[in-house]
Structure 1
Amino acid sequence: METEGELSFGPFTLSLDRRALRRDGCALPLGARALELLALLAGRAGEVVGKDEIVTRLASGTDMEQGRLRAHVAAVRRALGDGEDGSRYIVNVLGRGYVFVAAVRRTAPAALPRVAGLPDGSAPLLGREETVASLVRMVGERRLVTVVGAGGLGKSALALAVARRVAPRFDGRVAYLDLAPLADGARLTDAVAGAVGLTLGGSLPALCAALAERRLLLVLDNCGHLADPAALLAEALLEAAPRLHVLATSREALDLRAEWVHRLAPLALPAALELFALRCGTRLDPAGRAKTAHLCRQLDGNPLLIGLAAARARTDGIAALAGAGDAPYGASAEAQGRHRSADALLDWSWRLLAPRERAVLHRLSVFRRSFTIDDAARECACPEIDGAAVKWCLSGLVARSLVEVDYGLHGVRYRLTNATRHYAGEAVARRVAMAVTAS
């Protein structure tokens, strides 16, 4: 049975997307099963639909007697005014079923992009099988799911894997938009419209109207630097289009009421070892596995950093990485933009921070182990930033996935990954030194 578009007959219009009936533009109250019955009969106008088939379709896994079917038919006939002023819509064919006898006009929505438009996903996604399965379930149940985590954890690859898996539930209608190239939110509406195959001149109301009755999965990738405009757009679309689902990735949550946040964990050790060996192009002997396991822990299970370290190991060897301190990785000649190095990855987040947050992150680099919020306030406070402001800045750094939180038995503790601590300490210090030299 069709699930999109509209069926029109007489003064009535039945939306198949919303399962809503209107007469001359005015909504008519009708129960869910009665609407399902009307959609089935009108969708097969002129064809006798057997009672057993109707009961099976309307039962939805529960028992329903044919006596209840007659009640639903009567409700539909009352809503349509069947028999009034000579109008006829539903006729009972004795012993067989029912037939919709009025002329029906069908209006189908314009086609939307299908799953073939998603970026290439040929790279293996190691150690994320359970996460993919969980997110597939959540995307079906929730209308807004955001995958949140630090840079380099593989949020984009994960979202694309989930989108491919759930595409059949949306009849293949999946639209993908990478927000990373957008400098600001001014062209966000246009970009989303383009992703779904529309040209609307930047009008959000027009985009909402165009998607109002569409079943669609919209993937918004890399929302972090546009979290506020992306949240406003997602909220408007979700309110206007009840069959739209949104899967987003970001370094911070969108903070919407309908949002389900999945915080992506680092890669577990077995999968991290497999990823290193794959990127390094070698098999690991027992000694190599022990050294690589230590290295992967040092890299906090970050897939991007593991890949960068593996690329370096191809030329320098695994043993050479052990003496590389907190940064046993280099830059990648193959990767582009923010993924070419750890510093480039963190530059992306650094630019989004307020001056006070930058100062606090820099000072937090003195902690080589986990710390409490009071520890942070004591260490980072200064005449310009008091203890209360430090705590406020710390909460912002946590939200942006730059500081990790451990809710343990001994209270809440915070920590910086090795890469973030190295960046916040040495890389920022180098910037300050260069600025002083230049002046």
Structure 2
Amino acid sequence: MNSLRDVSSEVVLRFGPYAFHLSQRLVLEGDRPLRLGGRALDVLQVLVEHAGSVVSKEELIAQVWPRSVVEEINLRVHIAALRRALGDGQNGQCYIVNIPQRGYSFVAPVRHSPKPVSFPSETVHKPLHNLPARLTPITGRDAVVGSLVRQLPVRRFMTVVGPCGIGKTTVALHVAELLLQHYRHGVWLVDLAVIDDPAQVTDHLTRTLELKIGTTLEALAQRHALLVLDNCEHLLERCQTLVETLLHSMPRLSILATSREPLKATGETVLRLPPLAVPPASGLRSVAEVMGYSAVQLFVNRARARQQGFTLREQDLKTVREICRRLDGLPLAIELAAAQIDALALVGLQAQLDNCFQLLTQGRRTAAPRHQTLKAALDWSYERLTAVEQTVLQRLAVFKMAFTQDAAIGVISCDRLPPAKLVKAMESLALKSLLSLEQGGAVTRYRFLNTTRTYALEKLELSGDLRALEMRYAGYISQARWTSGRQVALQFTK
């Protein structure tokens, strides 16, 4: 299929009340320019050039994203944006139809005009944003991204929550990219990780929005915009106040936040980001079946980028599954592990998992410092804990499997860490996504991610308390197992 870039740039394509000026990359309805992004225009060009024919989704993606691997949701979002912009379905007019199992077709008559019309450059809409360029495709997040894209303009305030390395920023930025054309006054990323003082938050926001010195936020009252407040966890109270103030004074504003824990602001909708899907031990029957799991997809994609010719073979399935499982399905950990494929090969990677922080130190030079290595990401979270929370996190690392509050009290409580204080710290660590909660009947259990536990164990060993805590842990387990009539407080889970 030929690209529309082969069509003369002097041609104007006309359909219904619209004129598509190829040289200006501009669609006009009469004298009014339509607000369409570059990708949406690319999709429209391909469809209009092949008006009356069915263009498969694969062909559209290949034409619009020739050098990238993208998810089908990208195409669906741009098709939906085109339909809205063209008023598709209104007054009985139809331009783009979906042909089930085949693709899309532009069904309106198209007329070619050889005479271009010049338009002032200022009539061309350029999306307003400060989003960074995305260098790699996103894997396994179609459902989450689609949900956020649909809900955010309606709910106005949503927070993506999860542990470090889970991909909160990646998801938020992708959602922002897909919503660029929806917000008339732009989409703005506000990275709060670069400041630590709550008093600096408002100034940082005004600088990001490029407001003049002395301008107050009230001046933004009528702006139709999206703010992405990234890394809110260390400034929760200030962010809560700011968000509530902005949403009240700016009725057309939407806010997408990322944080280890909810902001607990009025009107907040929380979306907890899950790990990527790891195949079960019983699901290793074929390469095709294993490649249906997003954690494996990400590992293979990043391994291929690192080692030309990398292929997942049937004899590799158990090893790759174990790597993804031990890394908790965390995208950052999987990416960093796959980056070592040329040096260690699969067997070497698996052998190094017990020493995962030395393994996962080959960082991404283009990422923010806290995301360049897994240890850096956890350092950033750990340093913002209270001293009590740090101590509890370290000591709980002696638990190899899921554990209850009673078990934690029995093993690590002491005069300096009484039960009430310990339980409060555990609840806080769970809220901050450093512990996971498992609900089984009436009993709540806590669990570490493997990567977080390894990190906490290193800290515990450096404190000099590892041996003493291991002995207390062993004694508690022995007592729990053999005391007649006592309910077992610790249950091992796979």
Does residue 411 (structure 1) correspond to residue 411 (structure 2)? The answer is no
Within the alignment, does 1:162 sit opposite 2:175 as a pair? yes
Match of 2:245 in 1: 236
Residue 210 (1) aligns with residue 225 (2): no
User: 2:85 aligns to what?
Assistant: none
- 1:347 partner amino acid: D
- Distance in 2 (alpha carbons) for counterparts of 1:360 and 1:333: 29
User: Which letter does structure 2 place at the counterpart of 1:268?
Assistant: A
Residue 391 (structure 1) aligns with: 423
Residue pair 1:273, 1:292 contacting (<8 A) in 2 also: yes
Paired residues of 2:323 and 2:353 also in contact (CA < 8 A): no
**Structure 2 CA distance for aligned equivalents of residues 217 and 317 of structure 1:** 43
1:271 maps to 294
Shift of 1:431: 5.7
1:255 matches 2:264: yes
- Amino acid aligned to 1:364: L
User: 2: CA distance between counterparts of 1:272 and 1:126?
Assistant: 8
Task: Decide whether the 8 Å contact of 1:146 with 1:248 is kept in 2.
Answer: yes
Map of 1:86 onto structure 2: none
Q: Is the 8 A contact 2:226 2:256 kept in 1?
A: yes
2:401 is matched with 369
Aligned pairs for 1:22-421 (under 5 A) are 114-171=127-184, 173-201=186-214, 206-207=216-217, 209-269=218-278, 270-281=293-304, 282-328=310-356, 329-335=359-365, 336-409=368-441, 411-421=443-453
Which secondary structure does the structure 2 equivalent of 1:317 belong to?
Answer: helix
Per the alignment, do residues 242 and 425 of structure 1 end up closer, same or farther by CA in structure 2, a change over 3 Å counting?
A: same
Which position in structure 1 is the counterpart of 2:48? none
SS in 2 for 1:254: coil
Greater Cα offset, 261-270 or 134-143: 134-143
Answer whether contact 2:159 2:257 (CA < 8 A) is retained.
yes
Secondary structure of the residue aligned to 2:132 is: coil
Distance in 1 separating the partners of 2:461 and 2:170:
33
Structure 1 contact 273–289 (Cα < 8 Å) conserved = no
Query: Which residue number corresponds to residue 85 of structure 1?
Result: none
SS at match of 2:258: strand
Q: Secondary structure at the match of 1:332?
A: coil
Cα deviation code 1:58-80 (max 9, x no counterpart): xx99xxxxxxxxxxxxxxxxxxx
**Retained in 2: the 8 A contact 1:219–1:246?**
yes
Residue 169 of structure 1 aligns to a residue whose secondary structure is coil
Q: Which protein is bigger by CA-based radius of gyration?
A: 1
Distance 1:298 1:256 in 2: 35
List per-residue Cα deviations over 1:382-433 (Å, max 9, x = no partner).
Answer: 1011111111001110111100112234632110011111111124423659
Does the CA contact (< 8 Å) of 1:143 and 1:245 recur in 2? yes
How far off is 1:113 after superposition? Answer: 9.0
Q: Percent identity?
A: 38
| SS, match of residue 232 in structure 1 | helix
Q: In 2 relative to 1, CA 113–229 (structure 1 residues): closer, same or farther, beyond 3 Å?
A: farther
The Cα of 1:172 is off from its aligned counterpart by: 5.9
SS at match of 2:188: strand
Match of 1:429 in 2: 461
Distance 1:372 1:305 in 2: 27
Shift of the 390–431 alpha-carbon distance from structure 1 to 2, 3 Å rule, reads closer
Equivalent pair of 2:183/2:226 in contact (CA under 8 Å): yes
Q: Distance in 1 between matches of 2:323 and 2:336?
A: 12
State the TM-score, normalized to the length of structure 2: 0.62
Q: CA deviation at 1:250?
A: 0.8
Deviation at 1:138, TM superposition (A): 1.9
CA distance in structure 2 between the aligned counterparts of 1:189 and 1:154, rounded to whole angstroms: 26
Give the aligned CA root-mean-square deviation in angstroms: 2.3
1:34-74 CA-to-partner distances (Å, cap 9, x unmatched) read: xxxxxxxxxxxxxxxxxxxxxxxxxx99xxxxxxxxxxxxx
What amino acid maps onto 1:278 in structure 2?
A: N
Offset of residue 377 of structure 1: 2.1
Distance 1:355 1:144 in 2: 32
Residues 224 and 250 in structure 1, CA contact (< 8 A), matched pair in contact too = yes
Q: Write the deviation string for residues 85-104 of structure 1: whole angstroms up to 9, x where unpaired.
A: xxxxxxxxxxxxxxxxxxxx
Q: Residues 227 and 314 of structure 1: is their aligned pair in 2 closer, same or farther, counting only changes over 3 Å? A: farther
Task: Give the conservation status (yes or no) of the 8 Å contact 1:114–1:175.
Answer: no
Deviations 1:283-324 (A, max 9, x none): 211122221111101110001011111112220111012222
- Offset, 1:167: 2.5
> Conserved in 2, the CA contact under 8 Å of 1:398 and 1:405?
yes
Paired with 2:403 and 2:264, the residues of 1 have a C-alpha distance of 26
Query: Where does structure 1 differ by over 6 angstroms across 4 or more consecutive aligned residues?
Result: none
Cα distance, 1:116 vs structure 2: 4.4
Query: CA 1:191/1:300 → structure 2, altered by over 3 Å: closer, same or farther?
Result: same
